[in-house]
Amino acid sequence: MVIANSKAGKAAKSAFEAEFKQKQQIIESKNAQLEALKNEFIQNGPVMNETTRKQKAEQIDRLDKDLQRSRADFRDELQRKDYELLEKILKDLDGILQSIGTSEGYTIIIEKTEGGVIFSIPSIDLTQKVIQAYDAKN
């Protein structure tokens, strides 16, 4: 909740989505190229000589493997970047939470969305305070 609603979290999400969109367009372009080659092969395959047919099949196979590698690389890169962004934000939040917890005398601070909290009174919810402190720091 804090990450999604903080200025830095929103900026990180926006940058992440822009990069995702750019990479997705590259993948879609390669996929369209592969589909066009496959369609050409299906339509013209019966009239191609054996050598040409074999070359086209190999070209399709290479492009298909390249597309699969690109997708895997894309997925791995996005996961790595997501982890790096999240790790930086969590490191910053840890200091803020330690400061708030110590200065205000909290024994424990539980993340509302992940900690299994079913109900809490709004007056003990620190979410907005943490967001404000995090935004002020960044």
In the chain, % helix, strand, coil (3-state, to 5) comes to 80, 0, 20
Q: What pLDDT score was predicted for residue 115?
A: 64
Cα dist from 76 to 19, 26, 39, 124, whole Å:
13, 15, 30, 39
Average pLDDT over residues 93-97: 91
Q: What is the 3-state secondary structure (H, E, C) of 30-86?
A: HHHHHHHHHHHHHHHHHHCCHHHHHHHHHHHHHHHHHHHHHHHHHHHHHHHHHHHHH
At position 10, the amino acid (one-letter code) is K
Average pLDDT over residues 82-101: 90
Instruction: Report which of 23, 51, 53 is spatially closest to residue 37, judged by C-alpha positions.
Output: 53
Domain spans of the chain, in order of start: 2-137
Q: What pLDDT score was predicted for residue 49?
A: 94
What does the pLDDT look like over 120-131, one tens digit per residue? Answer: 888 888 889 999
Flag whether pLDDT at 117 surpasses 80. Answer: no
Q: What pLDDT score was predicted for residue 30?
A: 95
What does the pLDDT look like over 3-60, one tens digit per residue? Answer: 888 998 898 889 889 989 999 999 999 999 999 999 999 999 899 999 999 999 999 9
Average pLDDT over residues 77-87: 89
